[in-house]
């Protein structure tokens, strides 16, 4: 393959030049280290561009979501001037769990999501929550992302999987995301935006080797036997898989799956931007189709979904070769299995998390086996 908008409720509007970081707000408060620091005074400062001269006089936080890397809370706000600002917001702050904070530091999750909402989100023609405030302190790891509350939007359940309409909407949003920064030299220079190089590939290969032993001890008896065998054989190939990535780069979500999709006014809205990277776009597509739909449905629709992805890109003026797109889709089918192996070892363990990782591994493993993805691995790195 070859090759500034600010969204409101409908994904329209616009403002910042692509790839250019925003200027820091001198009135912005220090990034919090925990939800306890998200006080009325903090919210007043964080929301000042939206609510000034009003003040937040009351803030009550309730946890939402699974919170496996960051702590996510719905804030119920009251103002000294009724109606001065949103009655609720969603705040993402450092997790209360030490292992999750360590995982976030290793993966740079807090830094990446803060950078995404500051530098890239305002220019994307993608449906995602509006960001009221974004901050990260590299010295302490403190962070906060203050987002529009999407309620009553409906989440898609990873364990159930997407239906055909949800999948088509998700693929359309995905192609819009990738098309916005396709082969863009400016975005490649953003210092916080990760990309794969030999050092990171070698590090991930070592992490996959160490994680795989724990993964198989924990979940091996719940995996399909041939998927468990594939998982056991894959770690020695990880460095080559990550380094052999032909094609132009773009901004990818990195964890584009059902649990990170919300249905709002009939449109798929994308959340959880902690794994954004500069990689080939089809990595996201293979990850979505491999893990967020039941295997029997995926087999029926994947050809149509790959074609839809290419059509949306072509509509944005990007030349896409259909055969190369399908080859890349096969090649990157292994990415979801790698994510399941590594992520399960890094985040706090929960009952739902266990079910999610088993489901992901079985679906992604079956995807890779169906498409014979190992045949496209390089013979040497």
- Domain check: are 41 and 109 in the same one? yes
In a domain, 381, yes or no: no
pLDDT digits (tens, 9 = 90+) for 72-116: 999 999 999 999 999 999 999 999 888 888 888 988 999 999 999
pLDDT digits (tens, 9 = 90+) for 309-362: 999 999 999 999 888 899 999 999 999 999 999 988 877 778 888 999 999 999
pLDDT digits (tens, 9 = 90+) for 209-264: 999 999 999 999 999 999 999 999 999 999 999 999 987 899 999 999 999 999 99
Helix (H) or strand (E) run with residue 58 in it: strand 56-63
* Higher pLDDT, residue 17 or 358: 358
- Domain check: are 253 and 177 in the same one? yes
Distances (CA, A) of 305 to 185, 209, 246, 298, 359: 28, 32, 21, 9, 21
Check whether 128 has a pLDDT greater than 60: yes
CA nearest 249: which of 281, 284, 287, 273? 281
pLDDT digits (tens, 9 = 90+) for 264-309: 988 999 999 999 999 999 999 999 999 999 999 999 999 999 999 9
pLDDT at position 16 is 33
Measured N-to-C along each axis, helices 282-291 and 335-346 cross at an angle, to the nearest 10 degrees, of: 80
CB atoms near residue 53 (< 10 Å)? 9
Distance CA 57, CA 61 (A): 14
pLDDT at position 35 is 96
- Domain check: are 191 and 61 in the same one? no
pLDDT at position 66 is 65
In a domain, 28, yes or no: no
- Domain check: are 209 and 343 in the same one? yes
Distance CA 166, CA 45 (A): 38
Final residue of a domain: which of 81, 115, 148?
148
Region of 208 please: left (phi>0), alpha (psi -120 to 50) or beta.
alpha
Check whether 24 has a pLDDT greater than 50: no
In a domain, 17, yes or no: no
pLDDT digits (tens, 9 = 90+) for 186-223: 999 999 999 999 999 999 999 999 999 999 999 999 99
Distance CA 46, CA 30 (A): 9
Distance CA 98, CA 108 (A): 15
Distance CA 147, CA 128 (A): 10
Residue 48 maps to which CATH number?
3.30.200
Query: Any alpha helices (H) in the chain, and if so which ranges?
Result: 40-46, 48-51, 98-107, 109-115, 164-180, 198-219, 225-233, 238-243, 282-291, 295-315, 322-331, 335-346, 351-370
Check whether 162 has a pLDDT greater than 70: yes
Residue 229 maps to which CATH number?
3.90.1200.10
pLDDT band per the 50, 70, 90 thresholds, residue 372: very high
Query: Which residue is listed with tokens 């969603």?
Result: 90
- Domain check: are 180 and 312 in the same one? yes
pLDDT digits (tens, 9 = 90+) for 1-14: 433 222 333 333 33
Query: What pTM was estimated for this model as a whole?
Result: 0.88
Task: Say if CB 206 and CB 338 are below 8 A apart.
Answer: no
pLDDT at position 380 is 59
- Domain check: are 304 and 199 in the same one? yes
Structurally, the chain folds into a number of domains equal to: 2
Final residue of a domain: which of 128, 148, 168?
148
Measured N-to-C along each axis, helices 295-315 and 282-291 cross at an angle, to the nearest 10 degrees, of: 150
Angle, CA 22 vertex, CA 190 and CA 132 arms, to 5°: 115
pLDDT band per the 50, 70, 90 thresholds, residue 30: very high
Distance CA 283, CA 219 (A): 25
Final residue of a domain: which of 98, 116, 148?
148
pLDDT at position 247 is 78
Computed over every residue of the chain, the mean pLDDT equals 90
- Domain check: are 209 and 307 in the same one? yes
- Domain check: are 96 and 234 in the same one? no
- Domain check: are 293 and 368 in the same one? yes
3-state secondary structure of 332: helix
3-state secondary structure of 228: helix
In a domain, 201, yes or no: yes
Task: Say if CB 15 and CB 122 are below 8 A apart.
Answer: yes
- Domain check: are 162 and 131 in the same one? no
- Domain check: are 182 and 209 in the same one? yes
- Domain check: are 277 and 315 in the same one? yes
3-state secondary structure of 135: strand
Check whether 381 has a pLDDT greater than 60: no
Structural domain harbouring 228: 154-376
């Amino acid at each position: 393959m070859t090759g500034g908008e600010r969204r409101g409720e409908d994904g329209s509007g616009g403002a910042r030049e692509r790839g250019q970081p925003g200027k820091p707000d001198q009135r912005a408060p220090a990034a919090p280290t925990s939800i306890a620091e998200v006080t009325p005074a903090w919210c007043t400062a964080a929301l000042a561009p939206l609510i000034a001269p009003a003040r937040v006089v009351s803030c009550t936080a309730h946890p939402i979501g699974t919170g496996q890397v960051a702590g996510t809370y719905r804030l119920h706000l009251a103002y000294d001037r009724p109606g001065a600002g949103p009655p609720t917001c969603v705040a993402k702050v450092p997790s209360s769990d030490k292992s999750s904070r360590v995982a976030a530091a290793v993966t740079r999750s807090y830094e990446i999501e803060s950078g995404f909402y500051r530098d890239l989100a305002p220019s994307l023609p993608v449906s995602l929550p509006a960001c009221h405030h974004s901050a990260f302190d590299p010295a302490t790891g403190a962070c906060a992302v203050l987002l529009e509350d999407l309620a009553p939007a409906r989440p898609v359940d990873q364990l159930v999987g997407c239906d055909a309409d949800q999948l088509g909407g998700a693929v359309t949003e995905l192609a819009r995301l990738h098309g916005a920064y396709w082969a863009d030299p400016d975005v490649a220079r953003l210092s916080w935006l990760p990309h794969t190089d030999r050092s990171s590939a070698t590090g991930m290969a070592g992490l996959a080797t160490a994680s795989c032993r724990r993964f198989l001890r924990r979940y091996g008896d719940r995996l399909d036997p041939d998927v468990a065998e594939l998982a056991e054989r894959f770690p020695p190939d990880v460095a080559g898989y990550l380094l052999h990535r032909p094609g132009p780069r773009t901004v990818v979500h990195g964890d584009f799956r059902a649990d990170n999709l919300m249905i709002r006014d009939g449109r798929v809205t994308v959340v959880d931007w902690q794994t954004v990277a500069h990689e080939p776009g089809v990595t996201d597509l293979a990850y979505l189709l491999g893990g967020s739909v039941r295997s029997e449905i995926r087999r029926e629709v994947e050809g149509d979904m790959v074609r839809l992805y290419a059509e949306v890109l072509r509509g944005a003026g990007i030349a896409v070769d259909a055969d190369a797109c399908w080859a890349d889709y096969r090649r990157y089918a292994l990415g979801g299995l790698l994510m399941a192996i590594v992520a399960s070892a890094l985040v706090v363990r929960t009952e739902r998390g266990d079910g999610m990782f088993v489901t992901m591994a079985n679906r992604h493993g079956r995807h890779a086996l169906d498409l014979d993805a190992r045949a496209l691995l390089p013979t040497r790195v």
